[in-house]
Chain A
């Protein structure tokens, strides 16, 4: 649309209406106070500027309007001065004082002091002038109204109320002036400097300065001046009694809306009575004359012991009474006794009612709001509008009453600070403000406060959303009521007045009608018979009252209400009252109208009223306390000992500008939720933070002080950081606990719970908090979700880091716990990912494992480290249990030094202390051995790549062993072996054979290192071989599980059961059809792009074919070992001629050496000695057998082994005797056992080797060349 194009009004309006139809989704649950970036409030209060427009009104009231306008301006000015005093911060503390008269720069200092303070001092001067002027004006008004002629005349409600506001203003200003000692200090600093510089040279300014300092220094100056001035006026007490009475009346009939208005009424009562009670007047006597009702006031004062005076200053209105001259306790039975305490002190008394009101109101509002949003109407009927208006007013009144309950509680608490005696949590040296806030509320009270705040702010949001609807209905309804009243209802009294010639009544009614009548034809219908005092005739006369969407102006309202009040007032300046001339029905109607119309101005100013009714900003302000304590904190000697004089030197004063956040109400409440982690309150946590918004708004719009805003902002910055920190910590811990307890075995968990260790995580209601994407704080919008996600992401990294570090600090058995920790973290990540965008879990894991940049990570490295330095040298394998265990006796390797375990918080590991205990008990079962569980965990954690790395490293170690230690020993032992060693004949008997071998092998048997170093080296090799074999088993099992899991998605279905006569193929087909939706490749082909199809096919192939080529890790290991044995480093005997007959007695081959070793370890040991099994486990045998098998000497070994021979012979003769100290039978038993073991090992190896050969494509045709004796060999 171009700029020049004209848009008609109706187009523009319909354009605005269309805006409603745009959908603007905001996906966050609303759990904070009304966030608004733009605030729009129209103010139509003219302060009687337009009074001259209503020339037809009665002149007296138009004059009064002029007075009102002036008085209102004075009140506003007074408020500005009150703000000035309240927000005054001491300047002189910051100004350097010249220390001596000789100081050279003192003139300069004084000059600057005057320059800085002059504008401030000017404000004080203006304040002094103002109070003079205000008192003068107030007394002038009182004098005028108390004039003997006027006295009995009627004074309007509005007028009395304005006078009441003056009384209140004087009370506030006086108290503020008394309280602010910094004002006096600043002024005296200024005066000293000014006198030194002789700034005030003329006598007049000197006099003014003197006056000002007297004014500031005299306590209760304003109060006393007012009192003195009033006492000179005759009959002032009666006017003040009227003021007090109207306040009592308004208070009792709830004719106020905002909390501050309510408190103002109470203050006026107190201060008003104080002003009245003097030498000439005794309030008790006035009470007797029924001029005032002290019993009613007594009740009010009891119910509201303390009211806020200004900001965080509060006052007990009853204290005014106590200070008055004729104070009589008997007249004040309730207020004067401390018991029972005022209901204001106990929030819990009010809470059930507030809850109920809230419940009822919001359900009604919800019903109405649904109606509005679902049906579109131009404008409702009169009755509908009236109902909505009443609903709105009720809402405002509820908000206001809740708000005042809250502020009154805070005021009471501020005036009644706690101490160590009444609250043991409060330390004896707590600060003043701390005692008034931090320690002054019980946990219950804090929760109740939070709840009430949440209700207030929540309802405010709901009402603000419907503001346009409410305002529209209110305007229409008020217009209709006003016009109906003026145009229709007032006709009858007018007719009677004309008929009975009551001129005054007639003129008032006519004036009312003319002030605000909005006639359908522009002016009053002249043909109306009522105007001639006649009743409506046969030809019924009707007036059509128009309808508009606008309310009356402020002046109109004032005129109408005041003039009507004149009609119904029972005072009329000596004449008979007008009431008597009106009939009862009319009177009731007018009174009803007068009462109801009181609230109209609030409804017409809806957005302003709503804001004022919900304003809780004063919960933060603490200027009074800052002034009182000067922000001082006394630091005392903190050492626990008998304090002596030296300790006094340690007492220092810390001067602060502000109190710490721990004493600040908004943070106390927020922190209380976070601290208690109460799930029911968690969703309220943003409401207390909104108090800062209120305070900041107040600082900007009412106090208009930059420094206050800055302080609020600084506090918010601090609090919000803490808030996010604590919240994310809690959220993380909560979900960690949830994940941990989900993974804990159910029965085990029940068992833990039965023993009092709660492993549950409680209900955490963080979901809606985690969806907050724009939290409004001081005009900024914070993405809470992102902030929490950022922290939790970091926590995730740290937790996995901790898991790995914990593993690194322990031995290889910790791998099971590591896997457990990782899976808990994985579940926690999954749970949190519902709400937060976190990094990919596998990515975090790889990063924590340091596996992103390096080919293998910390876990792999530590596994290898542990294998190499702890597992291989120290563990013994046992096939019966399929476990490796540590030898409890001798250790052959040096102890392993590991990094010291770091201490981690419970949240980073298992979530809570109880869960940590439960899990550590569980994982304690896996310590002390390495078995299938560990290997499975290893395989899952390391993956193919990690396993490959570990195995190839282990092979390197094996090569080192074979070519190093073992080769060395082999050579050494081979030298010690007898050249020939026969198989002795059976005739020698088994004892003979044993003796023979013992003699032959004596060198070997006595070889010192055989039992230690040599066996140890073989054990290490054996452990390597075993580990490789077992890890492959674990790997295959994992793979099979994987494959089975994948099967349904690859169209691999288990064969269905086919009954007799059924075709299994058809059943299979049916199953395939049934599960076709699961088949990935087919589906991707169908719905995906060509590339996706290809990828899925490749993936499928990879999964399907993984095991099919039957790659075997262990075969490869064996092949590599064989290669090592074929290498020149291995001490192999010279190769015999091809297919030479065996030289059975030669001992140069490895199996002969192993036979000798076997003989050695088959010799039984004494009870106190360690057996080889204990010391080395079966690794030893595995090493020997593997070498033999790989060298192809298995058959020769089995045929020629020394021990086997003994066994064979012993089987035949069955002898048992001691041969050279060796018990034969026991030896034979051992041999038998090892023979079984050896053949098992050979069996396993043979299977792998055979499979390997098959795969290598070796032909299965064997050629047997003819045997050739060595002597016949060529060469």
Chain B
């Protein structure tokens, strides 16, 4: 294989830099998306936990009230 002229190689290397920059940009964006997804996950978990807590509390209240108003038999 004959060595291509210097300029061609330099151009190829420049092209390589450009390609790798492109890859970096895409990688960086994917990284940003993962970061976003992670914080979205955290935020959702936090809110869902709050919601879950409220629902649990309401359920327990209903249980209590149901017990208060019934005399032995359960509401269906």
Contacts and interface: CB of A to CB of B under 8 A. Distances in A.
Interface in B11-32: 11-14, 16-18, 20-21, 23-25, 27-32
Contacts of B7: 522-523
Contacts of B29: 12-13, 16
Interface in A538-587: 548-551, 553
Contact of B6 (A28, A514, A783, A847): A514
Interface of A: 12-13, 16-17, 19-20, 22, 24-28, 35-40, 42, 44, 53-56, 467-468, 471-472, 475, 514-519, 522-524, 548-551, 553, 607, 773-774, 781, 783, 785-786, 789, 837, 839-840, 843, 847, 852-853
A40 B45 contact: no
Contacts of A553: 16, 20
Interface residues of B, number: 50
Interface in B27-75: 27-43, 45-46, 49-50, 52-54, 56-57, 60-61, 64, 67-68, 71-72
A852 to B, nearest CB: 5
A392 B69 CA distance: 65
A549 B49 contact: no
Nearest to A523: B10
Contact of A843 (B23, B36, B64, B72): B64
A548 B12 contact: no
Given A42-B30, A54-B13, 9 more contacts: A20-B32, A26-B43, A35-B38, A467-B31, A516-B13, A523-B6, A550-B23, A837-B53, A847-B64
A55 B1 CA distance: 11
Interface of B: 3, 6-7, 9-14, 16-18, 20-21, 23-25, 27-43, 45-46, 49-50, 52-54, 56-57, 60-61, 64, 67-68, 71-72
A16 B32 contact: yes
A347 B30 CA distance: 41
B71 A853 contact: yes
A514 B61 CA distance: 76
Contacts of A524: 6, 10
A843 B41 CA distance: 35
A37 B50 contact: no
B33 A19 contact: yes
A42 B56 CA distance: 42
B9 to A, nearest CB: 6
Given A55-B3, A514-B10, A774-B42, A468 B49 contact: no
B20 to A, nearest CB: 5
A38 B49 CA distance: 20
Given A26-B46, A55-B3, A40 B52 contact: no
Given A55-B9, A785-B49, A853 B42 contact: no
A774 B47 CA distance: 10
Nearest to B70: A853
A786 B13 contact: no
A551 B20 CA distance: 8
A38 B33 CA distance: 10
13 contacts: A16-B33, A20-B36, A24-B42, A35-B42, A53-B12, A517-B10, A550-B20, A783-B53, A786-B56, A837-B54, A839-B57, A839-B60, A847-B64
A471 B12 contact: no
Given A13-B29, A549-B21, A852 B64 contact: yes
Contacts of B72: 853
Contacts of A25: 43, 46
B24 A475 contact: yes
Give the one of B6, B46, B60, B64 with max A CB within 10 A.
Answer: B46
A513 B31 CA distance: 32
Contacts of A786: 49, 52-53, 56
Nearest to A483: B17
A74 to B, nearest CB: 28
A39 B41 CA distance: 13
B45 A781 contact: yes
Nearest to B29: A16
A548 B21 contact: yes
Contacts of B61: 839-840, 843
Contacts of A36: 38
Ranked 3 nearest A-B pairs via Cβ = A24-B43, A773-B49, A550-B21
A518 B53 contact: no
A53 B33 contact: no
Nearest to B41: A37
Contacts of B46: 25-28, 773-774
A853 B41 CA distance: 43
Nearest to B61: A840
Contacts of B10: 514, 517, 519, 522-524
B64 to A, nearest CB: 5
Nearest to A56: B9
Nearest to B27: A42
A786 B46 CA distance: 11
A794 B16 CA distance: 66
A829 to B, nearest CB: 14
A141 B5 CA distance: 35
B31 to A, nearest CB: 6
